[in-house]
Chains A and B, each alone.
Chain A
Amino acid sequence: MKSIAELEAIKKKVLDNVNLRKEREDGIRVVVGMATCGIAAGARPVMTALLEEVSKRNLGNVVVEQTGCIGICRLEPIVEVFVPGEEKVTYVKMSADKVAKIVTEHIVNGNPVVDYTIGKAEN
């Protein structure tokens, strides 16, 4: 059974990893739309998959955040990726399945997954 005491160990791990905390401050932001339209379309499993992937790979430079309605409800779930110094990339009709690829190719290797972006969906 998990106990709150376990959090001590997790805390220690995070604090020991000084780089991890420093990098987060001006790193990559991944933002999930969490208004009713996003939630109904499946934003929650996308959010869970993002947190799992970021934690599993120990990506110190990535912050996962939420926002309200992005304004294009029919394309939800929507995920926006902000890489410092680059243009925002908007991924639409997201699913948990697509998360691993976006994390590997875009967030880690720096190449946006064009097939999943809004530009592709609109064509």
Chain B
Amino acid sequence: MQEISLHILDIAQNSIRAGAKLIEITVTENLKEDVFSFTVKDDGCGMDEELLKKVTDPFVTTRTTRRVGLGIPLLIAGAEATGGNVKIKSKVGVGTEICATYSHSHIDRQPLGDIASCMMSVISMNPDIDFIYTHFYEQKSFTLETRELKAVLGDVKLSEPSVALWVKEYVNENLTEIYGGAS
């Protein structure tokens, strides 16, 4: 995986498969403390203790199309390569929270990459799930809540391609803003 945003997209797919109704994605960049982290929190089916213990091992999956699960092991490898880690909390019937932490300045930290396209993709492909995306950069932050968008859109779905592309640009512009303005 070449970008952290692709891990975010991928970890969110687990939440989607778990039947989540609300998925909260939070990215935090704190240069002073040299932290880059992201959290994906869902209200999906959750995992029991036995599965939770196993998912950090490669090759654990409940999918039926193939015998190995790659998402979480790849995420762990990327975070640990920078001296960081991945923490997973989960409860059956309540939901799951996965937090990956990296050293921001570490040479092996993958770039964030095109997070706007990732948000567009998860949001537009899953118009019935609510997403809250918050991005902190130093003192500044930006939040996108799909419930607010739906309130404006009414009968028009977030999966409408013109709406999807708006979401992407909206995220990009707001990120430019929190990263310090004019790019």
Q: Which residues of A contact B (CB under 8 A)?
A: 1-2, 4-8, 10-11, 13-15, 34-37, 39-40, 44-45, 47-48, 51-52, 54-55, 63-66, 68-71, 73
Choose among A1, A13, A66, A73 the residue that contacts B162 (Cβ–Cβ < 8 A): A13
Choose among B6, B149, B155 the residue that contacts A39 (Cβ–Cβ < 8 A): B6
Task: List chain A residues, Cβ under 8 A from B118.
Answer: 44
Task: List chain A residues, Cβ under 8 A from B69.
Answer: 36
Which of B29-37, B46-54, B83-91, B120-128 touches A?
Answer: B120-128
Q: When chains A and B are docked, how far (Å) is the Cα of A105 from the Cα of B51?
A: 46
User: Mostly helix, strand, loop or mixed at chain B's interface?
Assistant: helix
Does residue B117 face the partner (Cβ distance < 8 Å to A)? yes
**Docked-complex contact A68 and B13, CB < 8 angstroms:** yes
Q: Which residues of B contact A (CB under 8 A)?
A: 1, 6, 9-10, 13, 17, 63, 65-66, 69-71, 74, 114, 117-118, 120-121, 124-126, 148-149, 152-156, 159-166, 168-170, 173, 177
Can you name 9 A-B residue pairings with CB atoms under 8 Å?
Answer: A2-B169, A2-B170, A5-B152, A10-B156, A11-B153, A39-B6, A48-B120, A64-B159, A68-B13
Task: List chain A residues, Cβ under 8 A from B154.
Answer: 11
Knowing that A11-B163, A48-B120, A70-B65 touch, tell me 13 more A-B residue pairs with CB under 8 angstroms.
A2-B166, A7-B149, A7-B152, A14-B162, A14-B163, A35-B63, A40-B10, A40-B70, A44-B6, A44-B121, A48-B121, A51-B124, A64-B125
Task: List chain B residues, Cβ under 8 A from A6.
Answer: 166
Q: When chains A and B are docked, how far (Å) is the Cα of A2 from the Cα of B118?
A: 19
**Docked-complex contact B161 and A51, CB < 8 angstroms:** yes
Of all chain A residues, which has the CB nearest B63? A69
**Docked-complex contact A35 and B13, CB < 8 angstroms:** yes
**Docked-complex contact A2 and B162, CB < 8 angstroms:** no
* B63 CB → nearest A CB, Å: 6
Given contacts A37-B70, A40-B1, contact A66 B117 (CB under 8 A): no
**Docked-complex contact B166 and A68, CB < 8 angstroms:** no
Task: List chain B residues, Cβ under 8 A from A44.
Answer: 6, 9, 114, 117-118, 121
**Docked-complex contact A36 and B169, CB < 8 angstroms:** no
**Docked-complex contact B74 and A36, CB < 8 angstroms:** yes
Task: List chain A residues, Cβ under 8 A from B159.
Answer: 63-64
**Docked-complex contact B177 and A1, CB < 8 angstroms:** yes
| Interface core residue of B121, B124, B161 (most chain A CB under 10 Å) | B161
Q: When chains A and B are docked, how far (Å) is the Cα of A35 from the Cα of B65?
A: 10
Task: List chain A residues, Cβ under 8 A from B13.
Answer: 34-36, 39, 68
